[in-house]
Chain A
Amino acid sequence: MKDKKVVVLSIIIVAAVLTTLFFYLKSAGDIELNEILLVGIVLVLVALAMYIVWDRLKNVQKGLPAKDERLININYKAGYYAFIAAIWSAVFTPVLFDILFRYEPKGGDVAAIVVMVSGFVFVISYLYLARKGN
């Protein structure tokens, strides 16, 4: 029952986020770099949330638990890799921008890149570990 509630709640949240994003993009005029990055972050998170919801729904329908000890371990591992990626991207983003574009990014741009990189690393690690087993 608890698993079903979590799945329903997740679907509602995903729908709410997508609706908000749609109205935001519709009303926004010229979009800046950090806004594009923020939209990218939201889309990555929504895609992951949708995959997780679909995966959980599949298991709940079969009478199996939505998550178990293996999945919890995978979450911890993926979170650890995302944390490391966040630290390194925070260090190297300004350096790389300087070398490649001769441009010093704003704090907001760096923050957006850090969140996006760690989000991507989390998604990729999660999917890889889920397929590998551990």
Chain B
Amino acid sequence: MKTRIKELRARYNLTQEDLAKKVGVRRETILFIEKGNYNPSLQLAHDIAKALQTTIDELFIFEDE
């Protein structure tokens, strides 16, 4: 699963740490989500989307296997 978190972070001038503080997780969690190494829960995905003023659909790019 790919994400647009990095792109949106850059748009709002947020570091991984800033975003982590906003959604209440550790910085490494944001890093692993960005790299596609961790699939967040629906709640966390919603929180990240809200923090980046977008929707889950736009934030995460689901690819057919």
Pairwise interchain contact A133-B32, C-beta atoms closer than 8 A: yes
A4 contacts B by Cβ under 8 Å = no
Report the Cα distance A1→B12, complex, angstroms: 30
Interchain pairs with CB closer than 8 A, number: 43
Distance of A63 Cα from B15 Cα, bound (Å): 14
Alpha-carbon gap, A130 to B38, bound state (A): 11
Q: How large is the interface on B (under 10, 10 to 19, 20 to 34, 35 or more residues)?
A: 10 to 19
**A132 in contact with B40 given A59-B26, A65-B25 (CB within 8 Å):** no
Contact (Cβ within 8 A) A69 B37 = no
Q: Whole-angstrom distance between the alpha carbons of A26 and B35 in the complex? A: 50
Residues of A contacting B40 with CB < 8 Å?
69-70
Q: Which of A70, A132, A134 contacts B26 (CB 8 A)?
A: A70
In the complex, which residues 21-58 of chain B have their Cβ closer than 8 Å to any Cβ of chain A?
21, 24-29, 32, 35, 37-41, 44
| Given A133-B32, A134-B32, A65:B37 Cβ within 8 A | no
Does B17 have its Cβ within 8 Å of any Cβ on chain A? yes
Residues of B within 8 A of A38 (CB): none
Alpha-carbon separation in the docked complex, A69 to B26 (Å):
9
B21 pairs with A68, CB closer than 8 A: no
| A102 is an interface residue with CB less than 8 A from chain B | no
Chain B contact residues, CB within 8 Å of chain A = 17, 20-21, 24-29, 32, 35, 37-41, 44
Known pairs A64-B21, A134-B39 / 14 extra A-B pairs, C-beta < 8 Å: A59-B26, A62-B27, A63-B21, A64-B20, A64-B26, A65-B24, A67-B26, A68-B24, A68-B26, A69-B44, A70-B29, A130-B28, A134-B32, A134-B38
